[in-house]
Chain A
Amino acid sequence: MSYQTEPSSFRDPDGYVFFHGARCYRAIRKSYATTWEKLMQSGLYHQLVETGKIISVSEPVQNLKTEDHDELHSIVEVPHLPLLSYPPEWTFRQLKEAALLSLDIQRESLKAGFSLKDASAYNVQFNGHKALFIDSLSFEFYQEGRAWQAYGQFCRHFLAPLLLSHYGFPELRQLLLIHPDGIPLGLCSRLLPLRSKLNFFVATHLHLHASMEARYASSKPLKKLNIKFPKSKLLALVEHLHMGISGLEEKVSGTVWKDYYKYCSYTDEDTKIKEAFVKEICLSLKGKLCIDLGANEGLYTQIAAEHFSLVLACDADALALKVLEGKKIVNVICLQTDLGNPLPAYGWNSRERKSFIERVKHNDLCLALALIHHLCISNNLPFEKVVEFFKEIAATLLIEFVPREDPQVQRLLVSREDIFPWYNRVNFEKAFLRHYTLVRKSELKSGERVLYHFSRNV
């Protein structure tokens, strides 16, 4: 069986992640041997594992021989995360939690004589509701008198997007997609309102930081400048960032969302039928991963979470996801995703970060409830295009057809010309049955909504 290196694992010269079959390993190069041994002996790593902050590692694995075996100090096994998520699709809560986790780890590290050598948001993943630090090689020895080298990166990756959301521009977190190494502080400083300069926390870590960066960007490294930067001040800096970020909140405009939940075309009986249908299918399948596309507040995500190890809940609606995240379901990952424009592959060679489709396609069940009209009518997608999307990501699909007469569809058509004469149940079934086999269907009583359980043709 061959070894496959994780495409994003090449920047750190001290090691890399690779896969062998279904298992995931971390190779540690000889250059990192001393740091790794001391890190393990210090008890810091084990303490972080015990508190659920960092990914666990096994004892060194002896039976694997990679091509660069002679350059390696050791190989350890790490849990294989079933689903990767990236900062541009994280909710505000996730980004904030990832920032606070990184600061917690930096604080604990400094106390134990180590420091984080980088503070990339990509060092954090979500294996459910909670954030998990996954880069075991991010630690280096703390050198007395040395400032935090990852401070600038931390501010670009975490502080800038959090502040943009805090000051009313949550959609600008998407800037993380075109700036994979974090939003430039100068850009963020120009975007934030003038009043943000009156806040000491923002003025120091962002505005002044941006000015200093710009002023010294083209200067040569300063030579023979002997300046003390004691650990106490470094700890205070970390504490100050922690306090400031803890106080940040996302501002989502009320006017955008206030009418969203007024329209509900289900009767209690319909809801019961739908719940029973979802429950029955979840129970019969079970498995590792279920993806709920257009999850809204997660009524059906919750049902799936009882039967699957992990459930991914996707929605473009920040407020709906906020409600779902408030339920703190341990095995649910929420991602703010516009399915009309899912995250592409990006980064170096367009392969460093995988596309949304690539990351979610290995699932055991895909839920697409009350979603079809948003895809077809809001995005002008013919059924054939919708099927093309699903057949790539869903081997087992539970999808709901919402008819034209439904108030939800009428709402989408109210302000536009109806150019969708083909939007009906017959064409829907015809398009899906070209690539799927119908396992079962169930009609909701009050309208013409229909639930389909499809299985992809081999």
Chain B
Amino acid sequence: MFKVTLKTLRARKFRLISTGFAVVLGIGFLAGTLVLTSTISSTFDSLFADAFKGVDAAVRGEKVFEGDATQGQEDARSPVPVSAVATVAAVDGVAVASGYIETNYAQLVGADGEPVGSQNSGTYGANWLGDTPLNSYTLDAGRGPEADDEIVLDRGGARDGGVGVGDQVTVLNALGSETYTVVGIAAFGDEDTAGGRHYIFFTDEQARVLANQPDAYDSILAAADDGVSQSELRDRIAEVVPSGTEVITGAELTEESQSEIKNALSIFNTFLVVFAVIALLVGSFIIYNTFSILVAQRTRELALLRALGASRGQVRSSVLLEALVVGIVASAVGIVAGVGLSILLKAALSGFGLDLPASGVVLTSDTVVTCMIAGVVVCLASALFPARRASKVPPVAAMSGLLVEDSASSPGRIVAGVLVLLFGAWNLFLGLSGRAGDGSLGAVGLGAAIVFIGVAMLGPVFARPISAFIGWPLPRLRGISGTLARENAMRNPRRTSTTASALMIGVGLVILITILVSSLKASINTTIDNTFKADFTITTDSFTGGLSPDLTRQLNELPEVAAATGIRAVSAQVDEQGGGRSLYAVDPVAFQEVWSLDVTSGSLDDLGTNGVAIDSNLGSDKDLAVGDTLTLTFAETGTQTFTVEAIFDSDSGLFTQYLISLESVETYTSNVLDAQIVVKSADGVPAADARAAIESVTDAYPTADVLDQADYKESLAAQLNQLLALVIVLLLLAVIIALFGIANTLSLSIHERTRELGLLRAVGMTRAQLRSTVRWESVIISMLGVFLGLIIGLIFGWLAVLALEDQGLSDFRVPFGQLALVVVLGAVAGVAAAILPARRASRLDVLDAIAAD
């Protein structure tokens, strides 16, 4: 029996290839994602191993509260006092000890006046660790910094900035726009930078000043004398360090840093894997459909096998064996393709501003095993029902050759479809309403997938009427070719609807994300219109860092400016519970000038150092009123008691529930950087004049962008558009697979209709007319998919906006223009999918076709 199957397979290599292609694409993407992540991960592994090669022990503050890992935040730790360095250095067995401090805002300005570094990382600042084993950098040229206005650049920064030893350079930092002299150029091992991250090295004192921690370091690094092990060193140091600090070995530090990166990467990995899963789901529809069609076409052959004594089980396994072979071959090809795809993927992501350090290609055995299993499982699971159907072919069908296809709209199918649909909807409801707790996102995903499957199950029921409706104008427009196309699309409702369902998934998700983004844009615009009184907003492109407080100071001195305040985001733990929350700190008086904050009780005027204004939702959740107290815990200064001074309406368009004053931030944290500055110009000052005045100040800060309200909306919209484009590009894969599915179904149908096509050609149908018939059938199938996707996308979009209403998504927007574009592109895609099958159909030899059995 196996021999028969394998022979059949070999005889139909082409079918095998085109069927497997759907799986190849899905697995290729999965493998590409996994390869990319493991490559990045291994790049970082060796990076950290190199960076901490000479570190045997590290002293750092104890964890104050956990950072939000989903936001890429590290845990909040208290700083280590400078005085501890001497204590550590004095420990027996310590060869050398040094404090280490970093700041993420030390932006080098190149010789051309442009900021150096990639858009999202910029340049970082740290103290120069000198010629010690602790320093993973070695000087290429010059010397280390000795005065506060001297710096060392890494080779990458020096090259990109076009500067060398002895040059004067501008560095934007917490002090303002400062001038330094480059005294040395250093390399990270043999590399120009540490994994693409640029560093500027300052003296210890200057680095601490820039990090706004004049008396403390982030950590103390120590190297051991020969013969002293890392754990021994750790234990010895632990005995003498001040309370509130902890000691770990160099190996632990390396491991911890590596695993932090892995955690951060796993989010990124999950994001991409979701698209691979979508692609595989689409692929499984195609496998299912192909096997169903093949089983139907092979009825006579299967019945003959049954008549000759093959058992049901043997027939079933022969179909499953075929699926298994397809799965194994396609997965293997997919894995190979994935290696290439990982390089493309990296290029695509960096095209969307996500630059990732990755060198070489790392294909782990985990990746191979995961992809193999995924590919084989998808193929086998998809072939399960067709295999069952094959096993039900009665031996007598060998004579008649007729397989009674179970009716497209059998009551069983309708009941099962509706049940599946309801189950999917229930999951969606659980997820969207937040009832599934932490699993909400998973429930939404699962629910959506099940809804898609449910719709596909019900598809055959309405495929006929909808196809008839979609194809309605065709007979008039395209004459007999149109009539035949329409009839062909309607004749196998199950085939048509499964093929269309594959396309429905991609289209539905594209529509959903398009609606979400439009709604988000509309909501943001509404919020800005309602709450934003500022004339200008100053932002920075840089992902890290921010804006020097010096800017706000200078702006407030301008006669053209009525009020300006920086908005500073700080992280703090509330009431000593949970992880870090994002708080905004502002100048409360100036803020009320630039923002229409609807204060429902209390007043923002006297926030002072220990006052907080909270959102009305939070007020009712926590039962807080003006005059009540809560505690905020900061990494640098620990737990502080704050009094609620004001409660503002939650519709005020702030992305936080807590407002504190800049004074508090300056008192309790080392954070000195503004994320944004909002400016109101003085009455009667024309916009152009105000802008000119503001730009005279910001000119010294090349990372600062001055935006008026329209620019600001546009810049937010541009960010969303970038996200939209990225997601659509990733969903495109699912759409492409679905188009292959359409092409595959058409090819199979054409094969089945060989005789009919021969007859049409014999009685005078031209090749062009035949191509047109195939093309329009394809368009009907693709339009059915687009139509179903449109409906599901609209419903999902509406539900999602409804569910996210609390989070500020106030407006539901349907982007009709974009939806129309999707419909048009769907039709074009249908035409494209039909190109090869149509050509094959038109090239059929008339005589062979009418003679075919």
Chain A partners chain B: no
Chain B positions within 8 Å of A, measured between CB atoms, are none
Chain A positions within 8 Å of B, measured between CB atoms, are none
